[in-house]
Amino acid sequence: MFTGSCVALVTPFKNGRVDGKTMRELVEFQIENGTSAIVPCGSTGESATLTHAEHHRVVEMVVKTARGRIPIIAGTGSNSTAETISLTRHAKQAGADAALIIIPYYNRPTQDGIAEHFYQVAKTVPIPIIVYNIPSRTGTNLLPSTLARIAARSRNIVGIKESSGDLEQISEIARAFTGKKFSVFCGDDSLTPPVLSIGGKGVISVLANIAPRDVQDLCTSVMQGDPDRAQALHLKMSPLVKALFIETNPGPIKTAMAYLGMCSAEMRLPLFHMRAENKAKLIRAIKAYGLKRPA
């Protein structure tokens, strides 16, 4: 089972190409700071703008750099079942420990279509799969009853990243899987404590790109029953988390990382650089948090 802080890793670019040197440095940074798992090629990793060759390269690079020191959960989802199978098969061959697969987007399949999509992927590629539910990006919400059907039919469906923001729905999922080998991950940094307190096993975090140790400490504090420490960390994080989502992710997190000297802020269109006033708010939040630029 996967638990704790799992970083939704950015994909650094340099002059329009994946920046391999910086990618390797980011992986080492996460390992050094106690992150529980690394998630490349997700929404934060700009998977939607990567070519298949780039997607393959990023997964291979992260796995190779990690050298088995930390689990790698590769984003492999698409709105095409055949494409999802292909990307998932490659992730397994590359040595990833699990796959994070988004609900098919744009097509807006029925619940039956979603269930069949995951069944076909799971039966074709024997790798642990974490379902990724984010209705704001896909246009479709995965119902808890559908998730239960998917998990009952496919034993390698081992968890869900829940980014619906609906605590009632997340509670229903946690209740349905109590006592089972199934991990519920918070998909929203602002909701980590409540999700963990109702049975969640961790968070797939954007904030962990720049504050990995604090996010890991927050997860540990909640799960080990230290509410005072968890509250203090959550309240400290909240203004920065808000600033990191002032515009579409990963714009703000990449801007923050550029400010902190970690990677370029470069993204691919249609993603675009932040508006000046929002960037100023983000930098104020970074300074108030206590993160510092390199000397």
Active site residue 161: yes
* CATH label, 4-224, candidates 3.30.1280.10, 3.30.70.20, 3.20.20.70, 1.20.1050.140: 3.20.20.70
Banded pLDDT at 21 (limits 50, 70, 90): very high
Largest CA distance in the chain: 55
Residue-level pLDDT at 179: 78
Based on DSSP, count helices (H) and strands (E) in the chain, helices before strands: 12, 10
Q: How far apart are CA 31 and CA 110, in angstroms?
A: 39
Residue-level pLDDT at 274: 96
Residue with tokens 């619906």: 164
R_g over Cα of the chain: 18
Residue-level pLDDT at 254: 98
Please name the residues in contact with 252: beta carbons below 8 A apart, sequence gap of 6 or more. Answer: 243, 244, 245, 246, 274, 278, 282
Per-residue pLDDT tens for 181-227?
A: 899 999 999 999 999 999 999 999 999 999 999 999 999 999 999 99
Residue 126: cis peptide before it, omega within 30 degrees of 0: no
Mean pLDDT rounded to a whole number for the chain: 95
Q: With a cut of 60, say whether residue 44 has pLDDT above it.
A: yes
Per-residue pLDDT tens for 123-182?
A: 999 999 999 999 999 999 999 999 999 999 999 999 999 999 999 999 999 999 887 889
Domain spans, the chain: 4-224
Query: β-strand 157-162 against 129-133: which pairing, if any?
Result: parallel
**Rounded mean pLDDT of 109-133?**
97
* Residue 4 near residue 220 (C-beta atoms within 8 A): yes
Banded pLDDT at 29 (limits 50, 70, 90): very high
What size, in residues, is the chain? 295
Query: β-strand 73-75 against 13-14: which pairing, if any?
Result: unpaired
Residue with tokens 């989502």: 245
Q: What crossing angle do the helices spanning 20-32 and 52-66 adopt, rounded to 10°?
A: 40
Q: How far apart are CA 210 and CA 42, in angstroms?
A: 17
Banded pLDDT at 231 (limits 50, 70, 90): very high
Residue-level pLDDT at 294: 67
Q: Considering only CA atoms, which of 105, 52, 49 is closest in space to residue 269?
A: 49
**Rounded mean pLDDT of 253-260?**
97
Residue-level pLDDT at 101: 98
Q: Considering only CA atoms, which of 8, 41, 36 is closest in space to residue 218?
A: 36
How far is residue 167 from each of residues 64, 130, 140, 162, 185, measured CA to CA in Å? 37, 19, 17, 10, 12
Per-residue pLDDT tens for 78-93?
A: 999 999 999 999 999 9
Residue % of the chain over a pLDDT of 70: 99
Residue-level pLDDT at 127: 97
* Residue 161 near residue 177 (C-beta atoms within 8 A): no
Q: How far apart are CA 202 and CA 218, in angstroms?
A: 10
* Residue 129 near residue 158 (C-beta atoms within 8 A): yes
3-state DSSP assignment of residue 3? coil
Q: With a cut of 60, say whether residue 287 has pLDDT above it.
A: yes
Of the candidates 92, 161, 201, 279, the residue annotated as catalytic is: 161
Per-residue pLDDT tens for 53-84?
A: 999 999 999 999 999 999 999 999 999 999 99
Active site residue 21: no
